Amino acid sequence: MTQSQSRSKSPASWHPGAPEREGLWIFTRLRDFIDNIANTSPARLALSAFGIVILVFTGLLSLPVSSATGESTPLYQSLFTAVSAVCVTGLTVVSTAVHWSFFGQLVILIGIFVGGLGTLTLASLLALMVSKKLGVRGKLIAQEAMNAGRLGEVGTLLRIVIVTSVVIEAALALALIPRFLMLGESFGQSVWHGVFYSISSFNNAGFTPHSDGIVPYETDLWILVPLMLGVFLGSLGFPVVMVLQQNGFNWKKWNLHTKLTIQVSLVLLVSGTVLWGLMEWNNLLTIGGMTVGDKVTHSLFASVMTRSGGFNLVDQNAMDSTTMLLTDALMFAGGGSASTAGGIKVTTIAVMFLAIAAEARGDSDVKVYGRTIPEGTMRVAISVIVAGATLVAVSAMLLLHISGASLDRVLFETISAFATVGLSTNLSAELPPSGVYVLAALMFAGRVGTVTLAAALALRQRSQLYHYPEERPIIG
């Protein structure tokens, strides 16, 4: 037997079923690996899913075909754009309309849609696609994230999340396309811009396919109203949208999460509109020279967008310092849990204010709308707030050292990145690569960190067979 004959009889080289069996073996190993993570560490699966998606989109945006010039984009720029898209932020280091080709913009748009589904949704879908099941702990994480009533509802809710996203985005696109046609754009451009803005607004991303953003449409309610509706609906969260689908506006049938989310969101929306308008009313660099109607429109638009939308009608550097501080606070607050918005979430704020009110009254329980909020929920809220504030503080110190910019600009950009808002003083485009990487890491942490922390802590309740003696330290 010759050496070539011996090689030809190797099972891996000549047996017709060997490549198929090898592929099946790899798939089986991958399925077992993901299934094991989903059952032992769903939080790690969520982080892994988002990390893998970001790496894929970074690679796509680095290709020459993705840039308008046909040249490869530097790694730090493609990575930052991929993170900003998948984390539905909207911060940019290069112009979306000028730097990227149609293919590059399409990659960004797909990244926004995928990222808007959320870390836990992506992780659950990854587990379902590969291992065909979530596992008990995986279902518990998804149940906690989407407020499912029973574990058996999780798969159904995942499908509803995707369908709801597509339906709302399609409705927004159908509302915007005719307006772009009336403004003189071609049919192809109108469809592309309508679809882009619909996906970008519902997912609270803030990316725009126009080089000058939406500033040319600053008085066009036909465009501004759909954008505001898309951002506001996206900021409520999928659990709230599903409750509204099932029960409409029947307050009595809403669960506590829906009541708190909508109530606090409306309070922040109204107060943000009034305060932003009052602070900028006479500022000639922003809205000072406009009519009363346009001032009200700009104030409402700014209040909606600071909660995570990211679209802007005025130069953020031209705002008064008090307005920038107000914007910082609204950005840090963010939107609803399990939504496309960022921040520490409005229910976190609600729980903390209710706890403060209960302490002021001397109540031992935190009660609202006939329900008692568990102590574990309050601990999670405190953890989310402290973790968010720590991330912002550390990142701001690093950027102050790297950029040498003023504190107000650095703090504004840092909170915008953490809360995945996308409003910018243009500091992102001015930073060196080291500063860009800091903001990219902050966007990733802001999108997946606090949400994953909250979900993980919510499931790490364990019973104890003993308690140490109580001793109360002096507080305040």
Q: Read off the tokens for 363.
A: 């109540």
Q: How many CB atoms lie within 10 A of CB 80?
A: 26
Q: What is the pLDDT of residues 115-133, one digit of tens each?
A: 887 655 665 555 555 445 5
Mean pLDDT (the chain) is 84
Q: Are 101 and 66 a contacting pair, CB within 8 Å? A: yes
pLDDT at 152 over 50: no
β partners of residue 371: 368
pLDDT at 294 over 60: yes
Residue whose structure tokens are 């690093």: 398
Reference 240, options 155, 346, 134; nearest CA is 346
Query: Which helix or strand (DSSP H or E) is residue 368 part of?
Result: strand 366-368
Rg (CA), the chain: 24
DSSP 378-394: HHHHHHHHHHHHHHHHH
- Is the pTM higher than 0.75? The answer reads yes
Give residue 175's pLDDT.
Answer: 96
pLDDT at 143 over 70: no
Give residue 447's pLDDT.
Answer: 86
Q: What is the mean pLDDT of residues 77-100?
A: 94
Query: 257-271, 358-372, 391-405: which has the minimum mean pLDDT?
Result: 358-372
Half-sphere exposure of 396 (CA within 13 A, CB side): 19
Query: 68-77, 129-138, 442-451: which has the minimum mean pLDDT?
Result: 129-138
% residues pLDDT > 70 (the chain): 78
- Give dist(CA 346, CA 334) in Å, integer: 7
Q: How confident is the model at residue 52 (pLDDT cuts 50, 70, 90)?
A: confident
Residue 391 or residue 28, greater confidence: 391
Q: What is the pLDDT of residues 155-201, one digit of tens each?
A: 566 677 788 889 999 999 999 999 999 999 999 999 999 999 999 99
Q: Read off the tokens for 448.
A: 């997946």
pLDDT at 450 over 80: no
Q: What is the mean pLDDT of residues 304-324?
A: 93
pLDDT at 404 over 60: yes
Q: What is the mean pLDDT of residues 147-161?
A: 58
Give residue 174's pLDDT.
Answer: 96
Residue 158 or residue 202, greater confidence: 202
Give residue 157's pLDDT.
Answer: 65
- Give dist(CA 55, CA 51) in Å, integer: 6
Give residue 12's pLDDT.
Answer: 41
Query: Where is mean pLDDT largest: 46-60, 181-195, 229-243?
Result: 181-195
Give residue 82's pLDDT.
Answer: 96
Give residue 452's pLDDT.
Answer: 62
Q: How confident is the model at residue 475 (pLDDT cuts 50, 70, 90)?
A: confident
Q: How confident is the model at residue 454 (pLDDT cuts 50, 70, 90)?
A: low
